[in-house]
Amino acid sequence: MSRKLMFVTAYGNAFIMIALTTYFFIIPFGILASAINDPGLKNGETPRFLYRWHHQLSDKFEPWARERIDSERATELNTNNISGTEWPIFSAVFYLWTTEALQDAWAEDPSLNTTMPKEYARGAIESAAAIISDPNHANWVKVHWGDDYLSQENLFYRMLLISGLTSYQKLLGDEKYELLLIDQVESLSQELDASPFGLLDDYPGQCYPIDILPAIAAIQRADGVLGTDHSVFIARAIHGFEGTRLDAQTQLPAYIANSKTGEGIGPARGVGISYMLIWTPELWPETAQTWFERYETHFWQEGLIVTGVREFSKQSTYSEWLVDVDAGPVINGYGTAASAFGVGAARANGRFDQAYPLSAEMLVAAWPLPNGTLLGARTLSNLSDAPYTGEAILLFNLTRQPIFDNMISGKNALPPVVYLALSLYLAVGLAGLSYAFRSVKRWQRQLSELTKPQPYFPFIGWILLILAGAIALIYSHMMTGLVLLLAALFVTSGLQNKTFHSVHA
């Protein structure tokens, strides 16, 4: 191989390294530095950067949802695949909740974004509602409940159905799902009201209060769209979260309950309480304040490096390290999902002294890329069946608005982990740039002394890997493209070592 082609590999290798480190570390550092300083993270306003992130997510969400429906893949999954069956609808609902919140904020202050969310996201809104109402995507609950899945218990799915279709109708003013929405609001509220303990099962023999409370909130929100009034039911529904339904140790709702006896089973958990506290202020303000005080006492934890929400209470003997499909990774007691939903809980309850540090931690863990992908959140999703769940949940939590007027302002100081993460982004990025420049200088020095011809095969392999990686990236296969480009760097590194030995042979 000629010296000219070897110079091509040298500079091409450097260009790839510079591009990768800039894209994955330098630019994300800048994005995060700007986002963390957005006043909306501290004062209850809607952070402006969320409109850009939401717009980018909308552009990807629409084709994914339509392809998912057309593929009928939902009919192929068994009920043991929890994330594959539940999360596609779950992510669609979180996406619609986020869009609704951003639209409401924009209606109050159009300066937040040049285009209203319901305009640029119309296709994604329609596809999200389509996936929620798609009968094939109800296949897993049909297995559990049979053909009557829309008229008996099945609370989790029906809560999602009401929530998503309410947001859809509010956003677009389209009444095509209204009859289904009315039927579900009336039947579910009557069934909950008739339950002796205010409890219904998600699946046969499985009752999760974490889903019942947002179901009640969904009925209340549907009232605002349909013009109905379920205020009497909503006032009575609090009995589902009193007495023996509470964890005796923390006096907060147990994570699991027995709908037939009204007994709480096991302890309250951080993910459950965080999520319920997002909705409780809308339903029962005084209860929300009481619960938040207990939540802060038993689950809020400020360590030397990390601040967050525990998955199990401070008095619990449960493991400090585990992985759970609902809770996500639990690391040294801190719950990933508990802390993520803790952002929404703190914002809804006006506790920006907690919301700000939690938001900053969530942002640096999100790993935002220039194309809008939140790489950290994406990796916690189901990449094959629900790739946007993590991103939709992150945006949902950051768009929660305080219900109470007496907000507690956020602290200026951030947990050390935020500064460590930002330093890591910058350090890795600068190290990559330094490596690229030093590599070119080394190549130049070696090639100036090279007299023996080198084989063409490594160069051909390098070109093929780059082309394959570029094609993968163009078609949005990020991980495949990244692996191929890194392989190209490895091939070039091997060629450089051979050249070094040839020069000094």
For residue 497, pLDDT over 60 is answered with no
Between these two residues, 44 and 399, which has the higher pLDDT value?
399
pLDDT digits (tens, 9 = 90+) for 319-357: 999 999 889 999 999 999 999 999 999 999 999 999 999
pLDDT digits (tens, 9 = 90+) for 428-468: 999 999 999 998 888 777 666 655 555 667 778 888 999 99
Work out the mean pLDDT of the chain and round it to a whole number: 93
**Model pLDDT, residue 474:** 83
Confidence label for 257 from pLDDT (cuts 50, 70 and 90): very high
Q: What share of the chain in percent tops pLDDT 90? A: 82
Give the mean model confidence (pLDDT) for residues 8-21: 89
Q: 275: phi > 0 → left, psi -120 to 50 → alpha, else beta; which? A: alpha
Structural Rg of the chain based on CA atoms: 26
For every residue of 172-216, DSSP letters joined together read H---TTHHHHHHHHHHHHHHHHHSTTS---SBTTBB-HHHHHHHH
Q: How far apart are CA 170 and CA 222, in angstroms?
A: 9
pLDDT digits (tens, 9 = 90+) for 298-326: 999 999 999 999 999 999 999 999 999 88
Give the mean model confidence (pLDDT) for residues 119-128: 98
For residue 501, pLDDT over 80 is answered with no
DSSP tag of 47: P
**Model pLDDT, residue 187:** 98
The CA-CA-CA angle for residues 261, 266, 270, to 5°, reads: 125
Contact 113, 119 (CB under 8 A): no
User: Any idea which residue has 């069946």 for tokens?
Assistant: 385
**Model pLDDT, residue 346:** 98
**Model pLDDT, residue 503:** 46
**Model pLDDT, residue 500:** 45
The CA-CA-CA angle for residues 366, 84, 299, to 5°, reads: 50
**Model pLDDT, residue 242:** 98
Confidence label for 125 from pLDDT (cuts 50, 70 and 90): very high
Q: How far apart are CA 395 and CA 494, in angstroms?
A: 43
Which string of b and e fits 257-284 if b means at least 16 CB within 10 Å? Answer: bbbeebebeebbbbbbbbbbbbbbbbbb
For residue 25, pLDDT over 80 is answered with yes
Contact 253, 276 (CB under 8 A): yes
pLDDT digits (tens, 9 = 90+) for 50-87: 999 999 999 999 999 999 999 999 999 999 999 999 99
For residue 225, pLDDT over 80 is answered with yes
pLDDT digits (tens, 9 = 90+) for 147-204: 999 999 999 999 999 999 999 999 999 999 999 999 999 999 999 999 999 999 999 9
pLDDT digits (tens, 9 = 90+) for 365-392: 999 999 999 999 999 999 999 999 999 9
Q: What share of the chain in percent tops pLDDT 70? A: 94
Q: How far apart are CA 493 and CA 221, in angstroms?
A: 59
Query: Residue 161: which residues within 8 A CB-CB, separation 6 or more?
Result: 132, 133, 180, 181, 184
Percent helix, strand, coil in the chain, to 5, is 65, 5, 25
Contact 309, 274 (CB under 8 A): yes
DSSP tag of 25: I
Confidence label for 219 from pLDDT (cuts 50, 70 and 90): very high
Give the mean model confidence (pLDDT) for residues 209-223: 98
Between these two residues, 474 and 281, which has the higher pLDDT value?
281
Confidence label for 290 from pLDDT (cuts 50, 70 and 90): very high
**Model pLDDT, residue 345:** 98
Query: Residue 442: which residues within 8 A CB-CB, separation 6 or more?
Result: 496
